[in-house]
Chain A
Amino acid sequence: MANMKIKAKVKGDTLKCKIQAKHIMLPYDAAKKKGVDANFITLITAKVGDRVIFEASTSQFISKNPIFKFEAKADGIKKGDKLEMSWTDLSGKTVTEDKKIKGLK
Chain B
Amino acid sequence: MERRKFLGLGLVAATLIPASLSAVDFRKEKPDAFTAHNVADAIKALYGDIKFEEKGDLTVKVPKIASNGGAIPVSIQSGLELKSIALFQDANPESAVAVFTIGEGMIVNYMTKIKMKGPGEVTLVAEGKDGKFYKTSKKLDVALGGCEG
A73–B107 touching, CB < 8 Å: yes
Cβ-defined contact, A34 with B149, below 8 A: yes
Residues A67 and B97 in contact, CB atoms below 8 Å apart = no
B113 at the interface (CB under 8 A from A): yes
A32-65 residues at the B interface, CB under 8 angstroms: 33-34, 42-43, 45, 51-64
User: Would you list the 6 A-B pairs with minimal beta carbon distance, nearest first?
Assistant: A30-B149, A57-B26, A69-B111, A63-B113, A63-B71, A71-B107
Q: Is the CB of B114 within 8 A of A62?
A: yes
Q: Which of B97, B101, B103, B112 has the most CB of A within 10 A?
A: B112
CB neighbours of B62 from chain A (8 A): none
How many residue pairs at the A-B interface have CB separations less than 8 Å? 116
Contact of A56 among B94, B99, B147 (CB under 8 A): B99
Contacts of B26 in A (CB 8 A): 57
Instruction: Find out whether the CB atom of A59 lies under 8 angstroms from the CB atom of B110.
Output: no
Which residue of chain B has its CB nearest to the CB of A48?
A: B105
Does A24 have its Cβ within 8 Å of any Cβ on chain B? yes
**Is B96 located at the chain interface by the 8 A CB criterion?**
yes
> Which of B23, B105, B114 is A61 in contact with, Cβ under 8 Å?
B114
Which of chain B's residues have a CB closer than 8 A to the CB of A53?
103, 105-106
Contacts of B92 in A (CB 8 A): 27, 61
Choose among B96, B103, B113 the residue that contacts A66 (Cβ–Cβ < 8 A): B113
B98 beta carbon closer than 8 Å to chain A: yes
Are A67 and B149 within 8 A (Cβ)? no
Judged by a CB distance under 8 angstroms, whether B14 is at the interface is no
12 more A-B residue pairs beyond the given contacts A61-B96, A64-B71, with a C-beta to C-beta distance below 8 A: A25-B149, A42-B27, A53-B106, A54-B106, A55-B22, A56-B101, A57-B27, A58-B98, A63-B70, A63-B71, A63-B112, A73-B105
Q: CB of A14 within 8 A of chain B?
A: yes
Q: Give chain B nearest CB distance to A96 CB in angstroms.
A: 15
